[in-house]
Amino acid sequence: MRSDHIRPDRRTLLKVALGLGAAASVHLIAADPASTPTRPARAAGTPPAAAPGPPSGLPGRPPAYRLEPMTAATPPRFRPAAPPVRTRPFEELPDLGRSMVLTFDDGPHPRYTPDILATLRKHRVRAMFFVCGEMAEGNRDLLREMADDGHVVGNHSWSHPLIPGLSRAAIRDELGRTSDIVDATLGTPPLWYRAPYGAWNRNSFEIGADLGMEPLAWTVDTLDWTTPGTSTIVRRVLGGAAPGAVVLSHDAGGNRSQSVAALRRYLPRLLDDGYRITVPQRV
């Protein structure tokens, strides 16, 4: 089972390797909370998009869903990452006020991602999806739905490897191929990336920056990949809620029905507590 969790001793070694200096600040603004994410209607005369088949190498995967075609609208463009190259990822996002960021890794998955998107749309909020290229390749319709709803699509590598064990060429291939899929589908490459398992190294920071991306980790780990129960996931999110917090969940990589159910419960409670659920935008 794939996850973004590493044992405490492994995390400690990684932190030492990355250095404990604070990351240089980046100016962030919150997305407009007043605009409602919607699915635009298909323009007249536009032929329906063919439903993609499931990617190879994923046995037992359910067929991809046929979604409504998207319009040609693309998400707003931002400036790419600029020097200095970071020595550790962002773990929280400052300057957002009483806001939080929800993130989902490993997808898109045709069984779980649509339910997560529907819940976010119902509550008129945006999130970040760190996608794996091997999943995105056969589910480009879901990438378009994410972008059309105002979500941020980030890079989570192609095949979810342990990055520090790869050569520079292999890291560039993992990140570059995924950025290419996102760019070809949405018309703009991802501006954020997250290392699988939270395992970063200097090569990944340098190559990510060269591809125009900023590294983002997380503040709250739901550990939903362990399927601890819906109530436990809800409790972890609410217990870690704080201004600028970044919540890690998953929409693929295993059975994510608990993650879907938990989102339906904790999202309205966060909103009732006065939190704005938004996404960062670099300017």
Catalytically annotated residues: 105, 250
3-state secondary structure 8-58: HHHHHHHHHHHCCCCCCCCCEEECCCCCCCCCCCCCCCCCCCCCCCCCCCC
Helices vs. strands in the chain: H and E counts, helices first? 8, 10
Coil/strand/helix, residue 214? strand
In degrees, rounded to 5, the angle at the alpha carbon of residue 23 between the alpha carbons of residues 18 and 28 is 140
Burial class, 34, CB count within 10 angstroms (exposed 0-12 / middle 13-18 / buried 19+) = exposed
What one-letter code names the amino acid at 150? Answer: G
